[in-house]
Structure 1
Amino acid sequence: MSGRITFILTFAVVLCALSLVNSQYQARRQFIELERAQAAARQLDIEWAQLQLDQSTLGKHARIEANARRDLHMVAVSPDRTQYLTTGGK
């Protein structure tokens, strides 16, 4: 009877040890996955900041005006080229 109890206790200790090893492995794996996700989040934050900077640069009025003049051959409105519409007889 004593041998049987020893066998059962030994088996229980081995199962507990295997369970501990498995839980440590899972914890390490999840920690590595967390680190990768945090690194990806930091990279996305950097890209987002760069895109915001690009958007503010591309949206400046002076740049838009220069592109309109150069690419579309547009000019600013002058008083001699302005037509005024009035309501009524004149």
Structure 2
Amino acid sequence: MESRINLAREIGRDLWRYKWLLLLAILTVVSAMTVIVVTHSTRQKTSEYNELMAEQDRLDIEWRNLLLEQNTLMEHSRVEALAREKLGMKRPEPGKEKLVMQP
């Protein structure tokens, strides 16, 4: 009569017999998952860095434009022209100028 083989016991024995091979297989899978996670994180950080660099470039351009606008608005000839046109101001004659000094 044939004896029945307990499959669960045989699998357990094989796993115990090849425990180092099983451990290496598990470590290989864990290592592969770690590589996947690190690669994904690196790609996300690279994408974020590129977006921040583009934002910095945009802000630098805006800053330069604002400096140009400020310099244009502060130009002496422009201020003088606006004072004449909008406020009706004019330069005093040299004889009518008064010097005020603080102590």
Fold similarity call, TM over 0.5? yes
C-alpha displacement of 1:6: 1.9
Query: After superposition, where does 1:1-90 map in structure 2 within 5 Å?
Result: 1-79=16-94, 82=96
Whole-angstrom distance in 2 between the partners of 1:51 and 1:84:
37
Consecutive aligned runs of 4 or more in structure 1 exceeding 6 Å deviation: none
Aligned length: 84
Whole-angstrom distance in 2 between the partners of 1:60 and 1:30:
45
What TM-score, normalized to structure 2? 0.74
Question: Highest CA radius of gyration, 1 or 2?
Answer: 2
The root-mean-square deviation of aligned C-alpha atoms, in Å, is: 1.6
C-alpha displacement of 1:83: 5.7
Q: Percent identity?
A: 31
What runs of 5+ residues in structure 1 fail to find an aligned partner?
A: 86-90
Whole-angstrom distance in 1 between the partners of 2:18 and 2:97:
110
Distance 1:9 1:62, change over 3 A: same
What TM-score, normalized to structure 1? 0.84
Distance 1:78 1:6, change over 3 A: same
AA matched with 1:70? E
C-alpha displacement of 1:70: 1.3
Whole-angstrom distance in 1 between the partners of 2:91 and 2:51:
53
Q: Which segment drifts farther, 23-32 or 6-15?
A: 6-15
What runs of 5+ residues in structure 2 fail to find an aligned partner?
A: 1-15
